[in-house]
Structures are given as structure tokens and as C-alpha cells.
């Protein structure tokens, strides 16, 4: 049985005493590999949250795209970037990610 206050590391399964300041969220012991696992797990958790995966598709982005279109009427039809890529590239997830990073005006 684990003593009270101890946690079982999700990575190596050893029991450890969590940092009192971190007690509620510390799931891994202080071993280097477990810390690394903890770090990548928390990054994965960040991405798996719907509000974070929608980061580039949220209302703010749509608003930005719409105001950009208002400020540049008719530009979308003759978009040089899109004609250079070819429309098929729009289906490419990597091109999609690049477009999102660049706040491209065609949006998601």
C-alpha cells in the first residue's frame, strides 16, 4: 500500500512524494525520463483540448479573415499565393498548417 501523500508515477510506476505546491497535478516522479514523459504528455494534453486545437479556427481568426477581405475587395479571386500553390494544395494538411500559421486570408 502507498503511504498517504505518495503518488504512483505514471511513467515508471514508482511511488514518490509530490511537491506540495504541485500536489494536484504532479503525476510523474523526478526521474529524468519521467519528467520528459510528463512534459510531452502535458503538451499533448494542451493540443487535445478543443479550445486549443481550434486556436487557429476560432471566431477571432474568422473575424480577422473577414475584415481582411473587406479591406482588400476582390483580392481572394486573384490570390497569387493560391494560384502558385495550385488549388489541390489546399487539401494538403501541411499546406493547411502553413496557411494557418501565416494567417492566410482564406481561413480554415
Among 9, 18, 27, 38, interactor with Zn ion by CB under 5 A: 9
Residues 33-92 that bind Zn ion (CB under 5 A): 34
Q: How many residues bind Zn ion (CB under 5 A)?
A: 6
- Give the whole-angstrom CA distance, residue 19 versus residue 38: 14
The H-or-E segment that residue 15 falls in is: strand 15-16
Least Å distance between CB 38 and Zn ion?
A: 9
From the CB of residue 44, how many other CB atoms can be counted at a distance below 10 Å? Answer: 9
Does 99 bind Zn ion (CB under 5 A)? Our answer is: no
Least Å distance between CB 48 and Zn ion?
A: 22
Q: Do residues 96 and 90 lie in contact, with contact meaning Cβ atoms separated by under 8 Å?
A: yes
Residues lying near Zn ion in the complex (CB under 5 A): 9, 11-12, 29, 31, 34
Amino acid at each position: 500500500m502507498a503511504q498517504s501523500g505518495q503518488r504512483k508515477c505514471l511513467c515508471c510506476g514508482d511511488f514518490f512524494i509530490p511537491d506540495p505546491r504541485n500536489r494536484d497535478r504532479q503525476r510523474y516522479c523526478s526521474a529524468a525520463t519521467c519528467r520528459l514523459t510528463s512534459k510531452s504528455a502535458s503538451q499533448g494534453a494542451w493540443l487535445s483540448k478543443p479550445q486549443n486545437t481550434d486556436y487557429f479556427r476560432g471566431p477571432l481568426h474568422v473575424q480577422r479573415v473577414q475584415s481582411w477581405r473587406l479591406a482588400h475587395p476582390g483580392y481572394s479571386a486573384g490570390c497569387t499565393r493560391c494560384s502558385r500553390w495550385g488549388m489541390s494544395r489546399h487539401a494538403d494538411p501541411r499546406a493547411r498548417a502553413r496557411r494557418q500559421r501565416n494567417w492566410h486570408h482564406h481561413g480554415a
